[in-house]
């Protein structure tokens, strides 16, 4: 009998050799629901929204390629445009990964600038970069969207399903002196156009959410909002306190393990110290996929978050009934429902 944490139904033939226990009957896993999606449930990501990032090969010469999906309108477009400008100026070529903080972020940029101990000259910037305001950390443009025009399956929090006050007569309650809200502080999370977002209480705007793998724009103190020269990706538990405080511009959709498995920096905030300069992974190139030769362009699709398949997948993530599980959670936080993304053969144009 094999002891493993989770067995996905689709993988049972791989994980249950020889003496293994047969899988009991159960509902389809979230992955099985995704595997059964119709072709029309998948949305092709425009090549203009894909960045191909080549790190230096690893210690034994294996290539390390990442693909980042940039956020579509109406989110963060000023920074997204800057990132395309910087990529097209080949500004990112030759910069390094300067910070790897466990359970938090990996950050890359000009090591002579994005580095507490830097003493060198900063790399000159291309012309034409946008300077963005803090109000662009969230967007009000979705407020004008007529939700009725979207497919009627839309995954989002439902007020009526929030847990109500319950009495626990056997556990007397101590009055807390300092009250805080846990778990349920987001007033209305939901998925919009393939992205985890939230509509915050008291705001009409929607903000993207700092889930695992999301890519954001490093900045200094307010009112600085960052340009896109320093970027980071989340490699730990979702740091939701950064939502609406930093611009989110995309997510890593392939190769994040090349970031998350890097050695941690021992300096403040996980920066590599000068003594650890040799650990800074060089970034060989960053290209907008649409600028590559056609046969070099990767192609990816995401599962439409407006599709019925996504709604079923999300429901199954929130209530696991596949064979391994005994007690369904009865819910999920938005970052535990990652939007399925798949690589596909490039379609001929």
- Which part of the chain contacts a second copy (CB under 8 A), choosing from 33-41, 85-93, 107-115, 290-298? 107-115
* CA pair distance 341, 310, nearest whole angstrom: 12
Residues 251-290: x where in contact with a second copy by CB under 8 A, - otherwise, as a string:
-----xx--xxxxx--xxx-x-------------------
DSSP string, 203-215: -S-EEE---TTEE
Minimum CB separation from a second copy for residue 154, in Å?
A: 5
Choose which of 79, 317, 340, 341 interacts with a second copy (CB under 8 A).
317
Minimum CB separation from a second copy for residue 298, in Å?
A: 19
The 3-class SS string of 221-256 reads CCCCCCCCCCEEEECCCCCHHHCCCCCEEEEEEECC
End-to-end Cα, the chain, rounded Å? 50
* CA pair distance 317, 321, nearest whole angstrom: 9
Residues 6+ apart with CB under 8 A from 342: 42, 300, 301, 302
Q: If residue 195 lies in a helix (H) or strand (E), which one and from where to where? A: strand 195-199
Is residue 73 within the footprint of a second copy (CB under 8 A)?
no
Residue 223: is the preceding peptide bond cis (ω within 30°)?
yes
**Interaction with a second copy in 131-190: which residues (CB under 8 A)?**
134, 137, 142-148, 150, 152-163, 165-166, 168, 170-190
Minimum CB separation from a second copy for residue 64, in Å?
A: 12
* CA pair distance 319, 330, nearest whole angstrom: 5
Choose which of 69, 72, 243, 289 interacts with a second copy (CB under 8 A).
243
Is residue 23 within the footprint of a second copy (CB under 8 A)?
yes
Is residue 296 within the footprint of a second copy (CB under 8 A)?
no
* CA pair distance 299, 240, nearest whole angstrom: 30
- In the three-class reduction of DSSP (H, G, I as helix; E, B as strand; rest coil), residue 56 is classed as coil
- Which part of the chain contacts a second copy (CB under 8 A), choosing from 40-48, 75-83, 210-218, 286-294? 210-218
Sign of CA pseudo-dihedral 130, 69, 208, 39: positive
Choose which of 335, 339, 340, 341 interacts with a second copy (CB under 8 A).
335
Among residues 116 and 126, whose Cβ is nearest to a second copy? 116
Choose which of 46, 57, 90, 204 interacts with a second copy (CB under 8 A).
204
Minimum CB separation from a second copy for residue 260, in Å?
A: 6
**Contact yes or no for 207/249 (Cβ under 8 A):** no
Among residues 278 and 348, whose Cβ is nearest to a second copy? 278
Among residues 137 and 300, whose Cβ is nearest to a second copy? 137
Choose which of 49, 54, 114, 136 interacts with a second copy (CB under 8 A).
114
Total residues at the site for a second copy (CB under 8 A)? 145
Is residue 124 within the footprint of a second copy (CB under 8 A)?
no
Is residue 349 within the footprint of a second copy (CB under 8 A)?
no
Q: Is 333 exposed, middle or buried (0-12, 13-18, 19+ CB in 10 A)?
A: middle
Choose which of 27, 56, 118, 284 interacts with a second copy (CB under 8 A).
118
């Amino acid at each position: 009998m094999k002891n493993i944490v989770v067995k996905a139904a689709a993988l049972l033939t791989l994980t249950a050799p020889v003496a293994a226990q047969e899988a009991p009957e159960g509902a389809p896993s979230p992955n099985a629901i995704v595997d059964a999606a119709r072709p029309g449930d998948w949305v092709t990501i425009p090549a203009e929204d894909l960045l191909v990032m080549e790190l230096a090969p690893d210690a034994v010469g294996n290539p390390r390629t990442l693909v980042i999906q940039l956020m579509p309108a109406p989110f963060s477009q000023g920074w997204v445009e800057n990132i395309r400008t910087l990529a097209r100026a080949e500004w990112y070529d030759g910069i390094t990964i300067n910070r790897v903080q466990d359970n938090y972020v990996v950050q890359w940029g000009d090591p002579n600038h994005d580095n507490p101990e830097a003493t060198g000259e900063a790399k000159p910037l291309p012309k034409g970069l946008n300077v963005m305001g803090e109000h662009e950390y969230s967007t009000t443009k979705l407020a004008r969207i007529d939700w009725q025009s979207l497919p009627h399956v839309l995954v989002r929090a439902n007020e009526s399903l929030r847990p109500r006050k319950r009495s626990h007569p056997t556990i007397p309650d101590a009055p807390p002196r300092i009250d805080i809200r846990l778990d349920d502080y987001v007033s209305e999370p939901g998925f919009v156009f393939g992205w985890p977002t939230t509509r915050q209480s008291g705001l009409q705007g929607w903000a993207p959410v700092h889930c695992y793998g999301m890519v954001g724009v490093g900045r200094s103190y307010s009112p600085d909002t960052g340009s896109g020269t320093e970027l980071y990706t989340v490699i730990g538990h979702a740091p939701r306190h950064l939502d609406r405080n930093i611009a989110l511009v995309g997510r890593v959709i392939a190769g994040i393990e090349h970031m998350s498995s890097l050695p941690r920096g021992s300096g403040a905030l996980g920066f590599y110290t000068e003594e650890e300069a040799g650990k800074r992974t060089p970034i060989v190139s960053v290209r907008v996929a649409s600028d590559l030769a056609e046969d070099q362009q990767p192609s990816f699709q995401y599962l439409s978050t407006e599709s019925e398949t996504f709604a079923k997948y999300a429901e199954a993530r929130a209530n696991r009934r596949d064979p391994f599980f005994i007690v369904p959670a009865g819910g999920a936080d938005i970052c535990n429902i990652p939007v399925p993304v798949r690589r596909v053969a490039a379609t001929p144009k």
